[in-house]
């Protein structure tokens, strides 16, 4: 087991935990619901719920396809990097939000959340590569614990200016995430060469995805369950 790779993997959990701690759970969600939208009639909560649902749906639909493409093309780290960048861009766009910018806030959060959740798909896929079966519980727990530390430190970092200078929260979150995620991109195992180029893998993935959707659609009980 390569300790440098394990440390880099755990540090990515430390890095990305600032996002749910500040954006999804506390500062941004409160700011969007109460200030950007306004929640006197529950409208802010409605928009927040829709933004969570839309981003979750996008991730649920695209992750199996993108995971298959990444495996076939040997592009797992590239996808993880791209989606991390998408998350950071979404967070930085929040700097321009002002009260009343409901659609912009919705769009920026969806971009950030899709990037965050999709990057996690590829991040989690590294665990079997960096730890043998008997060590995976320990390494997973290490990432989990370090992630809690990242959440706490991230919150402590932004809370002093969350009320009076909230526009500084978003670049602080992005910088924290970026800086502490760099070791993962430097030290996690390189992608193995796949049997296809990315365009070829994408074409294969789309075809396979269509076949799966068609098969699911023919199974009434499963179809109704997924729709529900």
Tell me the longest C-alpha to C-alpha distance in the chain.
56
Burial call 158-179: b when 16+ CB within 10 Å, e when fewer: beeebeeebeebbebbbebbee
pLDDT at 129: 87
Closest CA relative to residue 223, chosen from 215, 10, 141: 215
Number of H helices and E strands in the chain, helices first, is: 11, 0
Token pair of 4 as six digits: 């440098």
Q: Considering only the top CATH level, what class is 3-194?
A: mainly alpha
* Residue 134 DSSP symbol: G
pLDDT at 226: 60
pLDDT at 70: 75
Averaged over successive runs of 10 residues, the pLDDT of the chain (228 residues) comes to 91 97 96 94 95 93 79 82 97 96 98 96 89 88 93 94 90 97 93 62 62 68 64
pLDDT at 43: 94
pLDDT at 64: 77
pLDDT at 60: 86
pLDDT at 40: 86
Q: How many CB atoms lie within 10 A of CB 92?
A: 16
């Amino acid at each position: 087991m390569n300790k440098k790779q394990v440390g880099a993997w755990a540090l990515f959990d430390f890095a990305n935990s600032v996002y749910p701690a500040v954006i999804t759970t506390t500062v941004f969600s409160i700011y969007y619901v109460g200030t950007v939208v306004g929640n006197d009639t529950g409208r802010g909560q409605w928009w927040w719920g829709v933004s969570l649902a839309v981003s979750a749906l996008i991730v649920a639909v695209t992750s199996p396809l993108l995971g298959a493409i990444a495996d076939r093309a040997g592009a797992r780290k590239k996808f993880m990097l791209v989606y991390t960048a998408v998350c950071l861009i979404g967070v930085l766009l929040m700097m321009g939000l002002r009260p009343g910018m409901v659609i912009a806030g919705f769009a920026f959060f969806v971009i950030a959340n899709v990037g965050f959740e999709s990057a996690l798909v590829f991040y989690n896929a590294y665990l079997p590569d960096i730890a043998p079966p008997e060590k995976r519980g320990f390494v997973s727990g290490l990432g989990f614990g370090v992630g809690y530390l990242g959440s706490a430190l991230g919150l402590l970092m932004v809370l002093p200016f969350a009320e009076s200078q909230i526009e500084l929260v978003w670049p602080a979150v992005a910088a924290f995430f970026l800086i502490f995620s760099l070791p993962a991109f430097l030290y996690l195992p390189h992608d193995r060469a796949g049997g296809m180029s990315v365009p070829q893998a994408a074409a294969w993935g789309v075809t396979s995805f269509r076949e799966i959707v068609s098969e699911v659609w023919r199974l009434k009980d499963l179809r109704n369950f997924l729709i529900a």
